[in-house]
Amino acid sequence: MPDIEGWIGDQYIRRFDRNSLPEIQRGYEVELFSPGFQVLGSNAGGEGLFLEKIDGRIYWIPFIPLDSELKKIAFGSQNEFDKAMKEFIPAVATDNIKMGLEPHFTHPLIMGGSVEDESNRVFVPRDVHMKLCGYWNKIYHRIKSQRNNQK
């Protein structure tokens, strides 16, 4: 089953293929950067959709930095998410979304990049996106660790 993309209300959701989730989980290094979370999809706008294994809630977490401290509630439970998916409207090419591609900000937003600057955004296939995220997440978490050690 391929990824599905579309709308729940005004929220765009790309639900990753369930059979690919273990590979995607490894590719984004979720257990390294946000242990206890399972990737489910994205908003095709720089945030991943993640299930927190302990509380069962579903959150948006930026792919860069992939840091669970930045989580925002998306759905209160798996049941709430499943119910919302019944209202899912599939995307079509005219929705002005780069279907199948993830946006990458060449100068990450957390490091001062601008979401408004179109030259800062490129759309890449997921395998490339995972590598780019891994690179920037390692830098981010190294800096975060150094700052925490200085406190």
Domains and CATH numbers, the chain: 4-150 (3.40.1580)
Q: What is the mean pLDDT of residues 40-63?
A: 96
pLDDT at 148: 84
Q: What is the mean pLDDT of residues 25-41?
A: 97
What residues contact 148, with CB distance under 8 A and at least 6 apart?
A: none
| 51: Cα within 13 Å, side-chain hemisphere | 16
User: pTM (2 decimals)?
Assistant: 0.91
pLDDT at 69: 96
Q: What is the mean pLDDT of residues 85-108?
A: 83
With cut-offs at 50, 70 and 90, classify the pLDDT of residue 95: low
Residue 93 has pLDDT above 80, yes or no: no
Instruction: Tell me if 18 sits within 8 A of 102, measured CB to CB.
Output: no
Instruction: Tell me if 15 sits within 8 A of 41, measured CB to CB.
Output: yes
Q: Where are the alpha helices (DSSP H) in 45-109?
A: 78-85
For residue 67, give both structure tokens: 């840091």
pLDDT at 114: 92
Strand extents, DSSP E, the chain? 4-8, 11-15, 37-42, 47-52, 58-62, 72-75, 89-90, 101-105, 121-125
